[in-house]
């Protein structure tokens, strides 16, 4: 299918329109028309169905502002690292460097090239500027992709339009932890718009400067621990492209994790949930795969990351979901930068924690200060450090969240002279600077940790494009061009069209009555009275409507209707009292 055909249909039928068209449009911006907006809403609700309503892990939805203060995005790393490499031709036209070399024939993964690597390729491949044809380029330079704004006119307070919805969730972590009664794991989801000031968006819906995301941030004490819910998905199979071989292999999610290819069950679980969702939404299973990011391709926050990719006839394999193990990167950053370490810290209680041998010393701060003056702080820290080092060996210390809780299992001993090492020199601490000494076995009762995060992050617009392309079928019917959009009933903008066979004998009124009954049952409906019934079916096929209900003479007698299936074109007679159930079972995932 050509991209132009899909976008043509989308434009003609009111799925997708170029934004600000009356003024010539603006690259990287689209509007959803009535059918597109209805589909987008249905699609987002299907996502909620999987990631919120039927997710066995505790989940909650939040909605955070799009304008985000500088401090938040400085902490998250976006101010310094959310960049793409840009090159400019001799006439000043900017191009995203990796796209330029890829289009010029570079057959590796251009996204993973370093700045120097890009420059080498530009010199070797001599790509022509797509705008003016020039072949001389500046060296590559990083450009930040965030749209900057000001919070409050004239305030000088810098903000950005968020580049991902995730940061709102991370900064809410202390409040979420309280909401979920202090227990892990739990997750928060957010659906909403984000902005990236893309350098040269020339790929239709695939690269937008303003786009919609659906993100889940699921917090775990330890993403490497076994996850009970994983058993429910372990037998599903998928195609994986690991970064070790870069070759496609089909296997179960269970094998993918047990072989170590996918780093843990938590990540494997969300890969599988992603697949479940995409297939329900109508993605072609043969055109879906999971590709692991190359080491040098991963975002600054990711420990491991897999993309769900769909195959597009026009564009090849395209990323549409990123499923990342972000570790504790984000929470550590916000804990440090906000100065509210305690609020971001989770106390992980241990039933029978590990033991370790150590010496814990309580100093008399006043006497230590009088004895050591300027050096007192360093002496106290060195004494404390000894204990921290011992606790760290059994995982009792986190560099940001600090020391966990310990119990001393022995008897305190009398204060005595101690020796500590400061800057390589041994320092003697007299007994009168010490209040108590506990030397012997300690038990670790709780770890102070910053939770780790698994993040499935969905690009809404790209996936909608994929669904259109995968559903698109063009041919001929009765000598006329005919297009059918085989959309999943769960996301189709119209699920049922109710058509009166003729405009006589009370049929339109009966059709309207049935339509209202279906709407009341939560189905998305449409009606159409213009043209013969064949033409009306064809119009609905093109809009992706999976079922047409036709009201005819018999309906006027006994209330029964015919239901036509878009894909088989078979018609079935359905009794009036069975109609709602018949359609709900086919159109609503909770009834599937
Ligand atoms: N939050 C993932 C991303 O922005 O791609």
Buried b (16+ CB within 10 A) or exposed e, 368-389: bbeebeeebeebbebbbeebee
Distances (CA, A) of 441 to 356, 363, 417, 445, 491: 6, 20, 21, 13, 61
Collapse the DSSP code of 574 into the 3-class scheme (helix H, G, I; strand E, B; otherwise coil) and give the result. Answer: strand
Cβ burial of 585 (10 Å; 0-12, 13-18, 19+) is exposed
Q: What is the DSSP letter of 226?
A: -
* CA nearest to 266, candidates 222, 235, 331, 305: 222
The Å distance, Cα 213 to ligand 1 centre, comes to 9
Q: Report pLDDT for 590.
A: 80
> How far is the C-alpha of 457 from the C-alpha of 277, rounded, in Å?
13
The Å distance, Cα 454 to ligand 1 centre, comes to 12
The Å distance, Cα 218 to ligand 1 centre, comes to 14
Name the residue of 82, 83, 166 whose CB sits within 8 Å of the most ligand 1 atoms, as the mutation to test its pocket. 166
Tell me the pairing of strands 480-485 and 472-477. Answer: antiparallel
Q: Report pLDDT for 591.
A: 57
Q: Report pLDDT for 202.
A: 81
Tokens 């939805």 correspond to: 61
> How far is the C-alpha of 476 from the C-alpha of 469, rounded, in Å?
18
Low-confidence ranges of the chain (pLDDT < 50): 592
* CA nearest to 35, candidates 495, 475, 469, 567: 495
The Å distance, Cα 64 to ligand 1 centre, comes to 15
Distances (CA, A) of 237 to 46, 261, 268, 275, 288: 22, 14, 11, 9, 12
What number does the ligand 1 atom closest to the CA of 164 have? 4
What number does the ligand 1 atom closest to the CA of 166 have? 1
The Å distance, Cα 407 to ligand 1 centre, comes to 42
Q: Report pLDDT for 295.
A: 87
Q: Report pLDDT for 303.
A: 84
Tell me the pairing of strands 405-408 and 434-449. Answer: antiparallel
The Å distance, Cα 188 to ligand 1 centre, comes to 15
What number does the ligand 1 atom closest to the CA of 165 have? 1
Q: Report pLDDT for 534.
A: 94
Query: Which residues sit opposite 420 in a β-bridge?
Result: 427
The Å distance, Cα 67 to ligand 1 centre, comes to 16
Q: Whose CA is nearest to atom 2 of ligand 1?
A: 457
Q: Is the CB of 457 under 6 A from ligand 1?
A: yes
The Å distance, Cα 196 to ligand 1 centre, comes to 11
Tell me, yes or no, if the pTM score tops 0.85.
yes
Q: Report pLDDT for 562.
A: 98
Paired tokens of 60 = 């909650």
Q: Is the CB of 164 under 6 A from ligand 1?
A: yes
Cβ burial of 547 (10 Å; 0-12, 13-18, 19+) is buried
* CA nearest to 518, candidates 590, 588, 565: 588
Q: Whose CA is nearest to atom 3 of ligand 1?
A: 164
Enumerate residues 6+ apart whose C-beta is below 8 A from 493: 15, 34, 35, 36, 38, 39, 42, 487, 524, 543, 544
Name the residue of 299, 303, 330 whose CB sits within 8 Å of the most ligand 1 atoms, as the mutation to test its pocket. 299
The Å distance, Cα 199 to ligand 1 centre, comes to 18
Q: Is the CB of 275 under 6 A from ligand 1?
A: no
Paired tokens of 41 = 């809403």
Q: Is the CB of 55 under 6 A from ligand 1?
A: no
CB 232 within 8 A of CB 275: no
CB atoms within 10 A of CB 63: 10
Query: Which residues sit opposite 317 in a β-bridge?
Result: 311
What number does the ligand 1 atom closest to the CA of 215 have? 1
Q: Is the CB of 194 under 6 A from ligand 1?
A: no
Q: Is the CB of 526 under 6 A from ligand 1?
A: no
């Amino acid at each position: 299918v050509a991209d132009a055909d899909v976008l043509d249909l989308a434009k003609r039928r009111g799925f997708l329109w170029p934004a600000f068209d009356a003024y010539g449009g603006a690259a990287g911006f689209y509007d959803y028309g009535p059918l597109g907006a209805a589909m987008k809403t249905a699609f987002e609700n299907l996502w909620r169905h999987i990631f919120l309503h039927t997710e066995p892990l505790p989940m909650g939805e939040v909605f955070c502002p799009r304008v985000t203060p500088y401090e938040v995005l400085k902490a998250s790393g976006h101010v310094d690292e959310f960049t793409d490499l840009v090159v400019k031709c001799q006439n000043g036209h900017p191009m995203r460097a990796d796209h330029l070399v890829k289009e010029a024939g570079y057959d590796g993964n251009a996204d993973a090239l370093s700045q120097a690597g890009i420059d080498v390729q530009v010199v070797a491949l001599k790509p022509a500027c797509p705008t003016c044809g020039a072949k001389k380029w500046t060296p590559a330079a990083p450009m930040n992709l965030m749209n900057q704004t000001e919070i409050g006119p004239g305030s000088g307070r810098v903000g950005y339009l968020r580049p991902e919805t995730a940061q709102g969730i991370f900064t809410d972590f202390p409040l979420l932890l309280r909401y979920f009664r202090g227990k892990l794991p739990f997750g928060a989801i957010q659906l909403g718009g984000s902005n990236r000031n893309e350098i040269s968006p020339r790929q239709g819906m695939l690269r937008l400067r303003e786009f919609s995301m659906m993100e889940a941030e699921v917090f775990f004490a330890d993403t490497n621990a076994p996850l009970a819910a994983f058993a429910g998905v372990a037998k599903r199979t998928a195609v994986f492209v690991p970064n070790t071989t870069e070759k496609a292999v089909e296997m179960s999610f269970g094998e993918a994790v047990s072989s170590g290819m996918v780093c843990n069950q938590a990540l494997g679980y969300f890969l599988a949930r992603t697949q479940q969702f995409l297939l329900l939404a109508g993605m072609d299973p043969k055109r879906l795969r999971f590709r692991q990011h190359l080491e040098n391709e991963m975002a600054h926050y990711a420990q491991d990351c897999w993309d769900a990719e769909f195959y597009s006839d026009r564009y090849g394999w395209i990323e549409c979901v990123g499923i990342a193990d972000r570790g504790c990167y984000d929470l550590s950053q916000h804990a440090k930068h906000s100065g509210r370490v305690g609020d971001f810290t989770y106390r992980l209680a241990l039933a029978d924690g590990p033991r370790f041998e150590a010496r814990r010393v309580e100093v008399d701060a006043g006497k230590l200060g009088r004895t050591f003056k300027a050096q007192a702080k360093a002496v106290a820290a060195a004494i404390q450090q000894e204990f921290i080092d011992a606790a760290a060996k059994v995982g009792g210390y986190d560099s940001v969240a600090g020391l966990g809780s310990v119990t001393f299992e022995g008897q305190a001993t009398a204060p005595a002279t101690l020796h500590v090492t400061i800057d390589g020199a041994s320092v003697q601490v007299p007994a009168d600077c010490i209040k108590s000494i506990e030397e012997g076995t300690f038990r670790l009762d709780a770890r102070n940790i910053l939770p780790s995060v698994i993040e499935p992050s969905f690009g809404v617009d790209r996936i909608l494009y994929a669904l259109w392309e995968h559903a698109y079928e063009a041919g001929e019917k009765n000598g006329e061009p005919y297009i059918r959009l085989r959309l999943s009933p769960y996301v189709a903008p119209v699920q049922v069209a109710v058509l009166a066979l003729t405009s006589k004998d009370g049929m339109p009124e009966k059709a309207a009555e049935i339509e209202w009954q279906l709407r009341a049952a939560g189905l998305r409906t449409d009606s159409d009275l213009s043209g013969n019934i064949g033409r009306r079916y064809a119009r609905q096929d093109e809009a992706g409507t999976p079922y047409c209900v036709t009201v005819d003479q018999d309906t006027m007698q006994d209330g029964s209707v015919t239901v036509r299936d878009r894909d088989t074109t078979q018609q079935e007679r359905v009794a009036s009292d069975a109609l709602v159930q018949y359609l709900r079972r086919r159109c609503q995932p909770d009834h599937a």
